[in-house]
Amino acid sequence: MLKNISSTMLIMVISMLSSLAVTIILGRNLSISDFGEFALLKQILLIGFTVAIFGLDYGYIKFFSNSHSSNRKIHIITIIIIVFIALLFVLLIKLLYNFQLYKLFFIFFSICFGSINLYQAALYRLKNKYLLGQLFTSGWKIILIILISSTLLFGLVYHIKFVYMTITISLFVFSSFIIRYIYKDNNIQYKNVDYKNYLKLGFIFWLINSTGLISGGLDKIAIPLMFNEEVLGIFTGVSFIFVISLTMIGSAIGYVIFPQISSGKNIQIWKINLLVLSITITAVIIFSLYGKYLVNIIFSGKFDDYISSKLIFYFTVIGSLQIVHTILHFILSAQANRKQLFIYLIMTIFFIVFFILLLVIYKYFSFSILIYISVIIIITRILKISSMIILLKMIKNDQTGNLRNIPEAI
């Protein structure tokens, strides 16, 4: 398992560094308001990918966990669902945010391409080809930095329109490979697949993953609605290096253990616990000593007036909690039955509402807006993680659930 995590981490590190580089370049060259719009765009796309895929990436892994076969009809049905839901999602975005028509156009196609990439990644993950799976999941970020860097070398001026266009192109590259699966897979054995059950299973994961991702990125979604994009730009600039670098680690671990747990394999959870603890302690020490310098160097001093030692500590805590939250999310998704997944869904919705209420009452306090947002994220995340651990213990003790090899909660 650790070998698979390492290979997955290789692509994740490269794509994460690519994402960091893009953020640095755009953070230096865009206005704070446009940089905030870029942060909002990324969050919209991440949620959009998950919403449009309808949970069929995870549903595919669960449905075919005992066999790696599939067929052409599965792929076509999935693509049709992606396009339809992406259209509805973009209409909702139009109601919430004042995006221009051409921006909505790019958002729609980006969501379609990104969702197809997630689906293809599931095909590879089920075959234990985790490196290829991760390449289809986040390889577009590598292409994006190539396009961004090329523009930088030619001395062209960055504009928010350019950002929308390059992101769409980057996502399209890997999504085009789906044509290969459509023409290749025509497995006779699975002509009579229970498509209704496949979609129902996907629907459950769609609810869980969509609400989970909204919960994880609720700050970036809510800040522009309640304040403005400039506040989001500042928040993103001062928190990015601390939160994202740690979140990546949790995603790498969860990415590998989900299909293994789904197929009934044992995992050594104590090794994961030790790894998470070591990373957290190291991050706190390094960021406490060099956090201000990192932000100063990365963004050429643009956010120096907003960063502080207290914020650095808060952001490091948020990143560390995100590692645990991500791993628990993958374990719950792999092990819970439908009733337990529904409980997890209700739990996630509750904490989304809870966070929004805490954000709304900010006007009654005189705290710094960045500190206040950080504190309520920490509070919400700790409470949710505690609830997830309790739910995992309930799952372990539930003799009627369809569970196998339940690991001890982190």
Q: Is the dihedral of CA 374, 380, 383, 385 positive or negative?
A: negative
The closest of 54, 196, 63, 71 to 116, measured between CA atoms, is 54
Tell me if 29 sits within 8 A of 151, measured CB to CB.
Answer: no
CB within 8 Å of 43: residues ≥ 6 apart: 217, 220, 221
pLDDT of residue 216: 76
Query: How many other C-beta atoms lie within 10 A of the C-beta of residue 387?
Result: 17
Tell me if 377 sits within 8 A of 219, measured CB to CB.
Answer: yes
| Domain contains 176 | yes
- Please write the tens of the pLDDT for every residue from 63-110: 776 655 566 777 888 889 999 999 999 999 999 998 999 999 999 999
Q: Could you list the residue range(s) of the whole structural domain that residue 236 is in?
A: 2-397
Percent of the chain with pLDDT over 90: 21
| Domain contains 408 | no
Looking up tokens 């680690």 gives 249
| Domain contains 410 | no
Structural domains of the chain, count: 1
The closest of 97, 22, 90, 8 to 52, measured between CA atoms, is 90
| Domain contains 403 | no
Q: Looking at the DSSP assignment, which residues form a beta bridge with residue 71?
A: 186
pLDDT of residue 399: 41
pLDDT of residue 407: 38
CA angle 150, 243, 148 (to 5 degrees): 5
| Domain contains 281 | yes
- Which residue type, as a one-letter code, is found at position 238? V
The closest of 7, 119, 137 to 70, measured between CA atoms, is 119
The pTM for the full model equals 0.78
Q: Which two tokens stand for residue 348?
A: 């996630």
- Please write the tens of the pLDDT for every residue from 168-216: 999 999 888 877 766 665 554 555 666 777 777 777 778 777 887 788 7
The closest of 128, 103, 107 to 49, measured between CA atoms, is 107
- Please write the tens of the pLDDT for every residue from 22-59: 988 898 888 899 999 999 999 999 999 989 988 888 77
How many Å apart are CA 62 and CA 98, to the nearest integer? Answer: 39
CB within 8 Å of 62: residues ≥ 6 apart: 201, 205, 262
Mean pLDDT of 252-276: 66
pLDDT of residue 269: 65
